[in-house]
Chains A and B, each alone.
Chain A
């Protein structure tokens, strides 16, 4: 683990990602304590206050400090995105592995159906699911998880099939290993790396998707200080107070970028042949 971390730091993307993620983690954990203002404190005088020494990123239509709200928002958005990705990845990985393991007609049937589900754009699927389950953060999280399942199943399967074709799996079969051993000890360590990389990149998507759902009024509900919600609020005051949007937009983008960078860094760091 420490070795992996060291390898990660040696890649350019990995190093940037770790610094950015460190900032995000601090915001998530310590946000409520370090926020310069009460995120929900309404101040009539502070309405549309432009960014300055007091309000670092300005204030919104109710005079609430944008920076403080962003800090609090991090603590909600990032964990939800992580949970959604984890749920979706795990379910997808199970289906993909199963499909690769069963092979033959079953594999064909499962994968064709997965392909069919992927014909529904992920956002539309998430929209429909949230509307069925009802608005709210938890349901948005479930919707994102479901929307991730087909894609992850597909990737896991293709990675598993590559691993299955390797001669070391052949050697294990030839010496009469059990299916469980072959899947868990021979294939899984080699399947895990690409899946972990893909999962990391998907966290970025989850952050974006969750923000989008909130933006459409389906995820976090007011008066929560959610990033997507802040952009949606700011749209009405786009002319008077563009900082309301810019702050939240940059926060979303930075979080997504750091997970994308982390994924690319892991791709290099997890390569066992890479001697650096």
Chain B
């Protein structure tokens, strides 16, 4: 991994954020909402509205408004929420930390379940575990998050009463209760990841197990465990890194719904509230932060791949 490669890769992240900022700005401009009316209410006098518009620069040409917004962004100033009057940046980053906790739990659960599931399915193709893995993967990619979530709610919160239905308890406040509140949301977002990744692990593993170097390892008389863990697993899991990074897109989309259903004050819920109340600065900040999260995840995955895969030389 050369500095030039890293530099070019970072440049691409910058380009991504620039494109996203343009799209997000364009959409928020097109949204049927008047910032001045939102601030002052329906009954404001035309004179007061005009004054606010002048102060916010709403009469300026579009490119100037974009430039002003972008310029502030570069100084990490995301603007002020029209709904709460508080700085949007800190509001969104606090929300993001809660979402990342949920995302982290989901990815962890996915790794713990999908990797062994896919591996075992590949080792015994056509066996019971393979059938189970196939079923899980079809269910996972066919159940939208809101269906999974409500079904889980019916089963575990309503009928069995094992877990709390909704709400968010910070782990710092009550660790166990916080975890209990996280179980169902995590399960919901993890299901689609498990489906994707276990399928991917399985097919990669099947390919690897049929490769010449695994045959060579077997003909060396190595123990089955050595062959699986030292020779097969690493090669099978490398391509999975990229898929997981791309799946962050689904993950973030799923989080929006899950946070809405389970009333978790994360970035997804903030975004939905912002969209409903036409809180333009909050929409812009939330969407941009989500895109940045996705871009960062992919950057990290590329770096991890470059470090782990000795074959590829980046120049």
> Are A112 and B30 closer than 8 Å at their CB atoms?
no
The 8 Å CB contact of B16, one of A116, A208, A234, A249, is A116
Residues 225-272 of B contacting A (Cβ, < 8 Å): 249-250, 252-254, 256-257, 260-261, 271-272
Complex contacts, A260 vs chain B, CB 8 Å: 138, 141-142
Per the bound structure, the CA–CA distance linking A121 and B27 in Å amounts to 15
Residues 216-242 of A contacting B (Cβ, < 8 Å): 216, 228, 231-232, 234-235, 238-239, 242
> Are B144 and A208 closer than 8 Å at their CB atoms?
yes
> Are A228 and B154 closer than 8 Å at their CB atoms?
no
Q: Does B146 contact A (CB under 8 A)?
A: yes
> Are A112 and B23 closer than 8 Å at their CB atoms?
no
> Are B257 and A246 closer than 8 Å at their CB atoms?
no
* Stretch binding the partner chain, chosen from A89-97, A123-131, A157-165, A182-190: A123-131
> Are A121 and B294 closer than 8 Å at their CB atoms?
yes
> Are A113 and B19 closer than 8 Å at their CB atoms?
yes
> Are A242 and B154 closer than 8 Å at their CB atoms?
yes
Complex contacts, B142 vs chain A, CB 8 Å: 204, 208, 253-254, 256-257, 260
Complex contacts, A246 vs chain B, CB 8 Å: 151, 154
Complex contacts, A121 vs chain B, CB 8 Å: 249-250, 252-253, 256, 290, 294
Q: Does B46 contact A (CB under 8 A)?
A: no
Complex contacts, A235 vs chain B, CB 8 Å: 150, 261
Residue of B nearest to A259 (CB): B142
Residue of B nearest to A256 (CB): B142
Complex contacts, B159 vs chain A, CB 8 Å: 242
> Are A238 and B143 closer than 8 Å at their CB atoms?
no
> Are A120 and B291 closer than 8 Å at their CB atoms?
yes
**Least distance between A184 CB and chain B CB atoms (Å):** 31
Per the bound structure, the CA–CA distance linking A156 and B25 in Å amounts to 28
Per the bound structure, the CA–CA distance linking A228 and B143 in Å amounts to 12
Complex contacts, B141 vs chain A, CB 8 Å: 204, 256, 260
Q: Does A87 contact B (CB under 8 A)?
A: no
> Are B257 and A128 closer than 8 Å at their CB atoms?
no
The 8 Å CB contact of A212, one of B23, B146, B291, is B146
> Are A119 and B291 closer than 8 Å at their CB atoms?
yes
Residue of B nearest to A215 (CB): B146
- Interface of chain B, main secondary structure: helix
Complex contacts, B146 vs chain A, CB 8 Å: 211-212, 215, 228, 231-232
> Are A249 and B150 closer than 8 Å at their CB atoms?
yes
Residue of B nearest to A122 (CB): B253
**Least distance between A218 CB and chain B CB atoms (Å):** 9
Residues 133-176 of B contacting A (Cβ, < 8 Å): 138-139, 141-147, 150-151, 153-154, 158-159
The count of chain A contact residues (Cβ–Cβ below 8 Å) is 44
Complex contacts, A98 vs chain B, CB 8 Å: none
Per the bound structure, the CA–CA distance linking A115 and B14 in Å amounts to 12
Q: Does A78 contact B (CB under 8 A)?
A: no
> Are A127 and B151 closer than 8 Å at their CB atoms?
no
Q: Does B31 contact A (CB under 8 A)?
A: yes
Q: Does B295 contact A (CB under 8 A)?
A: yes
The digit string for A110-145, where 1 denotes a CB below 8 A from any CB of B, is 001101111111111001110110100000000000
CB within 8 Å for A120 and B150 given contacts A132-B27, A261-B138: no
Complex contacts, A124 vs chain B, CB 8 Å: 252-253, 256, 271, 287, 290
Q: Does B32 contact A (CB under 8 A)?
A: yes
> Are B158 and A127 closer than 8 Å at their CB atoms?
no
Per the bound structure, the CA–CA distance linking A253 and B142 in Å amounts to 5
Per the bound structure, the CA–CA distance linking A14 and B270 in Å amounts to 42
Q: Does B50 contact A (CB under 8 A)?
A: no
> Are B27 and A127 closer than 8 Å at their CB atoms?
no
Complex contacts, B145 vs chain A, CB 8 Å: 212
The 8 Å CB contact of B143, one of A119, A128, A234, A256, is A256
Complex contacts, A249 vs chain B, CB 8 Å: 143, 147, 150-151
Complex contacts, B275 vs chain A, CB 8 Å: 127-128, 131
Per the bound structure, the CA–CA distance linking A120 and B101 in Å amounts to 20
The 8 Å CB contact of B19, one of A116, A123, A127, A228, is A116
CB within 8 Å for A216 and B150 given contacts A122-B253, A238-B158, A256-B143: no
Residues 244-265 of A contacting B (Cβ, < 8 Å): 245-246, 248-249, 252-254, 256-257, 260-261
Complex contacts, B30 vs chain A, CB 8 Å: 132
Residues 271-315 of B contacting A (Cβ, < 8 Å): 271-272, 275, 283, 287, 290-292, 294-295
Residue of B nearest to A210 (CB): B144
> Are B144 and A252 closer than 8 Å at their CB atoms?
yes
Complex contacts, B254 vs chain A, CB 8 Å: 123
CB within 8 Å for A123 and B150 given contacts A116-B15, A134-B32: no
Q: Does B20 contact A (CB under 8 A)?
A: yes
Q: Which residues of B contact A (CB under 8 A)?
A: 12, 15-20, 23-24, 27, 30-32, 138-139, 141-147, 150-151, 153-154, 158-159, 249-250, 252-254, 256-257, 260-261, 271-272, 275, 283, 287, 290-292, 294-295
What are 12 of the A-B contact pairs (CB < 8 Å)?
Answer: A116-B17, A120-B23, A120-B24, A128-B24, A132-B27, A209-B144, A211-B147, A253-B142, A253-B143, A256-B144, A257-B142, A260-B142
